[in-house]
A and B are shown apart, each in its own frame.
Chain A
Amino acid sequence: MGAYFIGAHELLGWVDGLRESTRIIGPVAKRQRFVFAELESAAQLRLDYDVTILPPKKVFFPPKQQILAFDSERVSDCIDPVPTVLLGVHFYDVKGLDMTDFLMRERYEDWNYLAQREATTIVASSVQSVAPRAFWGSIGAHVRPQGHDAMLTKVSEGYVLETRTPKGERLAGLERFRHATDDEVAGAERVNAAVMDQCSQLMPYDSKEIATKVRESFGNEELWDDLAMDCFSCGSCNIVCPTCYCFDVRDSWNVDQTSGQRTRYWDACLTREFAAVTMAGGQKENFREHHASRFRHRFMRKAAYLHDKLGGPACTGCGRCAAACTANIADPVRVINTIMGVTL
């Protein structure tokens, strides 16, 4: 599709113009961090953010999502998509969405996710600040981001908007844009290429090699006990991850005790009871009883099991888990590089 240019001083006017007709969700500041939130004015937009606390997956699959409402007469779904422009998604998070887009369609189509996904136009944006724990420069380099409708790149005098779909093209159809010159397009390409070397963290292995070695490390209990020693089983590493998609379902009644709702919540495989099941007779069996086996499971999923399905690692290199882990042990760079370095 097309390539357009907008002057730096025109950008906020464009965003405010869009706000008149659609909901816009973009990165905004929260204390010293950033979160994706609905913009109340374009001035809140922080395209210079490094990484958000939660990934943009939450727009389609909220941490707490009502999926059914019931009363004594009927049960109804709660699918109610809102036309949205999701603005300012970094490329590594687009990759994360590509993975959940695939996983939420696999076998069973999850319309609680897909309906809002289809009602959303995604405008990716160039990375202007690199998060300290990010390693997207070296992981899954062969996997290209695909799910965005347009890409906005900051160049010296303004922004280049490259559209990829008719949805993206419609955004550029608004006033304030002009066609970008070849030089501007080449400039944007240079900006996006240059940032790839900016991560201080490196995972210098091919993802297939990683998948093989991680799988082989499964039986090395000493290694995993060691890696997981300080684990709190808190699940923070799961909750902040763009590619985690497990949820727990709970029913609750309203105070009238006849109507109520079914709600799903993000679950976390690092937590103690995630793999606990109740058996006949009421006994519980936990097939990942020990924290090291849960810690190992996360890496098996991200590096090996899902790799087979997705053709690349189920990790975008966003570094959120590394930053969220108070014990400072969840970092894939530490874990994978350790595994790659040991003789099993």
Chain B
Amino acid sequence: MTKPRVAFFDFASCEGCQIEFTNHGDAVILELLNHLDIVEFREAMTETTNEPIDIAFIEGSFTRESDRVRLQAIRSRAKTVIAYGACAVTGGINALKNHQDDFAEEVYGEAAYMPHLRSGTARPISAAIKVDHEVRGCPVSKEELLLVISNLLHGTTYAVPTFPVCAQCKRRETVCRYEEGDHCMGQVARAGCGAPCPADGIPCEACRGFVDDANLGALEKVLVERAGFSQRRAVAKSRMFTANLRS
């Protein structure tokens, strides 16, 4: 059997999700190379390709019309397209700017007017092309990535968890952030990460996006009643990863 040709591409992102793949280290990656032919991956090799590919991992959000052209070109030569990481799946952290107009000077100071900083609305890549699978998270979970890859290799589909992070916290007996007087968004955040943040004493910021039918009304209520937030702060509660998912 010929090995599937795999390539990684990046758009507006920090490329951390690609680094997360390399974090598997030699033993795992060398074994994977017996099953995959990686033909383009700028974190780890200089070669690139314009040939057809079997699996395209695309990191980063779609923020410019020129991105659309590049995305379409990748789509047209890739059998399977995977939106890879929060930026590609939901717009991720880049989408914060969609709700404000004063960020450029705040962030870039005098350089704010450099032409390369002129970008449009940060959107998921699915706003430009058809996406076959999603790998969520900021960064992606490298263990989950292996599951996605092995399912692709076996012609099956990885069943992404659709329940909230709370369930994964409970399974590992993490003391709930609310019991420690803190707040959390684990009730509405998609699981699959294994809930590492609350286990380290950090509230969940929903980096994988919201579950379907997320009860945001109840979240606001709990943030006010249990975490002591003002109503305003509860409504505006961290949009860090969910700006595109809210009104």
Residues of A with Cβ closer than 8 Å to B?
30-33, 35, 53-54, 63-64, 229-236, 239-240, 250, 252-253, 255-257, 260, 265-266, 268, 271-273, 291, 323-324, 326-328
Q: A231-B215, A233-B211 are in contact. Are A257 and B167 (CB under 8 A)?
A: no
CB contact list, B197-226 vs A, under 8 A = 211-215, 217-219, 221-222, 226
B150 near A271 with CB under 8 A, answer no
Segment among B51-59, B83-91, B107-115, B175-183 that sits at the interface with chain A: B175-183
* Neighbour of B173 across the interface among A54, A231, A327, CB < 8 A: A54
Contacts of B164 in A (CB 8 A): 232-235, 271
16 A–B contacts from the bound complex (CB under 8 Å): A30-B173, A31-B180, A33-B179, A232-B219, A233-B163, A233-B213, A235-B164, A235-B167, A236-B167, A253-B150, A255-B146, A291-B215, A323-B179, A324-B170, A326-B178, A327-B218
A230 near B159 with CB under 8 A, answer no
Contacts of B212 in A (CB 8 A): 272
Contacts of A327 in B (CB 8 A): 187, 218, 221-222
A272 near B166 with CB under 8 A, answer no
Contacts of A252 in B (CB 8 A): 147, 150
In the bound assembly, the distance between CA atoms of A53 and B150 in angstroms comes to 34
Contacts of A273 in B (CB 8 A): 162-163
**Closest A residue to B218 using CB positions:** A230
In the bound assembly, the distance between CA atoms of A271 and B187 in angstroms comes to 11
Segment among B27-35, B69-77, B129-137 that sits at the interface with chain A: B27-35
Interface size on B, residues (CB 8 A): 41
A-B contact count (CB 8 A): 108
Instruction: Say whether B118 faces chain A, with CB atoms less than 8 Å apart.
Output: no
**Closest A residue to B186 using CB positions:** A234
Nearest 6 A/B pairs, CB to CB: A234-B166, A239-B170, A63-B171, A271-B163, A230-B218, A232-B187
* Neighbour of A239 across the interface among B171, B214, B217, B222, CB < 8 A: B171
A256 near B31 with CB under 8 A, answer yes
B32 near A266 with CB under 8 A, answer no
In the bound assembly, the distance between CA atoms of A310 and B98 in angstroms comes to 56
* Neighbour of B32 across the interface among A64, A232, A255, A323, CB < 8 A: A255
In the bound assembly, the distance between CA atoms of A291 and B186 in angstroms comes to 17
Expressed in whole angstroms, the minimum distance between the Cβ of A7 and any Cβ of chain B is 33
Expressed in whole angstroms, the minimum distance between the Cβ of A12 and any Cβ of chain B is 24
Expressed in whole angstroms, the minimum distance between the Cβ of A321 and any Cβ of chain B is 10
Contacts of A266 in B (CB 8 A): 171
In the bound assembly, the distance between CA atoms of A273 and B211 in angstroms comes to 11
A326 near B163 with CB under 8 A, answer no
Known interface pairs A234-B167, A252-B150, A256-B31; 6 further A-B residue pairs with C-beta atoms within 8 A, sorted by A's residue number: A232-B188, A234-B166, A235-B170, A236-B167, A268-B167, A273-B163
Contacts of B172 in A (CB 8 A): 63
Instruction: Say whether B154 faces chain A, with CB atoms less than 8 Å apart.
Output: yes
A232 near B215 with CB under 8 A, answer yes
